[in-house]
Chains A and B, each alone.
Chain A
């Protein structure tokens, strides 16, 4: 049985152990018309990303719908697996490492921020998260997601492999620009 193809638009996976913050980030992301999935822990995020099953062969019989994740936004301080741990797991994964990851934290600790950026995080949001923060994600959304429906052959490409695969992005990414802006904010 082939994987079900889901045209979900730009899909963001949000991770936060706080009930209030989950509600807030979900609404903020939805105002930008993103498809949003919210989970309450790093483990659940890995589960959703299929990373916990990386070793297993996903056969047709026990295979669930494969949904592509285009961006991960995660809280830093979470019990068990922190946002930093999750970031590392994603960046260490051969098929997930290209997914941009944004870290959120209520604490403005430069060494923490630097550590995350060095580990490959694309941006760092100070809580409480606002609309202006979410607007900064726009450069991370490639043109293919802005309005145009995904063409059939592109859909085939996404789901032909058995794992969540991220399409390669062009220089439109601008992540180095985002990082540089953050550094300036911290040290100015």
Chain B
């Protein structure tokens, strides 16, 4: 069965800015995965593909400034669809935080989870329309 196993946002130094798990892992295992993903992703350059085999899965990743956005999926899943799902997510963050930067994700970490849940749920893509997601986020923002 195909679904996202986890989503990670890390900076070049390996600090995690978001970790969203769609599969049961214990805490040690999560830490190991975070380190391994960092190791495989940061050694690659722009001439490399945005895909890298990872254990029995693959990581689809894209780098934005100093941040790596990584999605772990099954090997036979659609690489480009997830690559653009990352970009779609980043555009939403950019709009929501008004020129998003790494610090926004640090200080508003609890809001980033809300953005993720609007766009990805249970390891599946939930909503892809930027307009719809932003409208919903604005509505939530107006609530107390």
A binds B: no
| Chain A residues packing against B (C-beta within 8 Å) | none
- B residues with CB within 8 A of A: none
